[in-house]
Amino acid sequence: MHQIKKTCRLTSLLFAIVMLFSFHTGVSAGAITTPIDSLPRDTDVNEYVVQINGAGNKVLSYRVFSQGGNAHVLNTLSVKKDYVATHGCAVSSLTTVLSAHSQRYADYTPAMTYKKLEKRVFGLRSWKSNYSKSKRKQMPVSLYGITKILRYCKIKARYVRTFRDALAVREIKSHLKKGKPVIIEVNNHRQANGRISRAYNPKWANTKHTMVLLGMTDTGKVIVADSAYRPWSGTKQRIKFTTMEDLVHYMIPSKRISNSYYYQSADTNGGYILVY
């Protein structure tokens, strides 16, 4: 009898362990990811449409644009130096998000977004105050401005202006694993909790740069939609891969608040946007 009770207790314990393991496996399986084998390796093109698994069992088609408007050939680039080529990373990122999250603006190009949508949302006066300047002095749309446009387009978004690195990594990865994108601002210097290194590091930006994080792969990599060319990434240009733990050190936490629609400084226009 004692042996039978012991065997029953052991069986119950094993059953409990199996159920606990199954529960945690289910939680892990609940994360929305995109298989890395389904993602492209050669995206050095003018525009690439990538399929990303999104919330609600949807497959989202994101249009990712080359900021210069031309694909690279033998690492050279010949473009007309218009606004999008020189300052268009932010409007390209915004247009990428619109392409998958707004039926009305799904066919917009970055040029259409800044010429039409920015003018409509910000008003003619604010729009002209930026674009009437010389090309060099025109500024990209700020993260605050992007948030305002997303909300105008009925896309819920939350602008996180400042952050601590570890918390940002957790929040962004959690958001991406729900099948929802994040727009970020990166710098040409690494940082740790707002303390910026003096060493120049152009891995993700020559100066300041805006990109979209589209989701996570099943291998734990962040899927980055990037309008710029980076030699280190080889043929992976419109779509790049990295870890959030590394990328956060190129992001910029704001130090002051600005409600300018256009970029002013790293101190006032850093942070990230959670798109819902």
Question: pTM higher than 0.85, yes or no?
Answer: yes
Residue that the structure tokens 């949302």 belong to: 121
Q: Which residues, at least 6 apart from 61, have a Cβ–Cβ distance to it below 8 Å?
A: 49, 50, 51, 99, 100
pLDDT digits (tens, 9 = 90+) for 70-116: 555 444 444 456 899 989 999 999 999 999 999 999 999 999 999 99
User: Using CA atoms, how far apart are residues 27 and 157, in angstroms rounded to an integer?
Assistant: 26
In this model, does residue 29 exceed pLDDT 90? no
CA dist., res. 151 & res. 157, Å (int): 7
pLDDT in tens, 244-263: 999 999 999 999 999 999 99
| Spatial contact of 154 and 160, defined as CB atoms under 8 Å apart | no
Radius of gyration from C-alpha coordinates of the chain: 22
- Closest CA relative to residue 114, chosen from 95, 133, 135, 101: 95
Q: At 251, which amino acid appears?
A: M
- The pLDDT > 70 percentage for the chain reads 85
Q: What letter would DSSP give residue 189?
A: S
Q: How far is CA 213 from CA 23, 62, 199, 250, 275, in A?
A: 29, 11, 25, 14, 10
Q: What is the spatial distance between Cα 236 and Cα 124, in angstroms, rounded to a whole number? A: 38
Confidence of residue 68 (pLDDT cuts 50, 70, 90): confident
Q: Residues in the chain, how many? A: 276
**Sign of the torsion angle spanned by Cα atoms 241, 245, 250, 251:** positive
Long-range pairs of 114-118 with CB within 8 A, sequence gap ≥ 24: 114/83, 114/84, 114/88, 114/141, 117/149, 117/153, 118/91, 118/145, 118/149, 118/261
Q: Which residues make beta-bridge pairs with 157?
A: 275
Instruction: Provide the 10 A C-beta neighbour count for residue 197.
Output: 12
Backbone angles phi, psi at 59, to 5 degrees: -105, 115
| CB count in 10 Å sphere of residue 17 | 10
DSSP string, 116-129: IIHHHHH-HHHHHH
Mean pLDDT throughout 139-165?
98
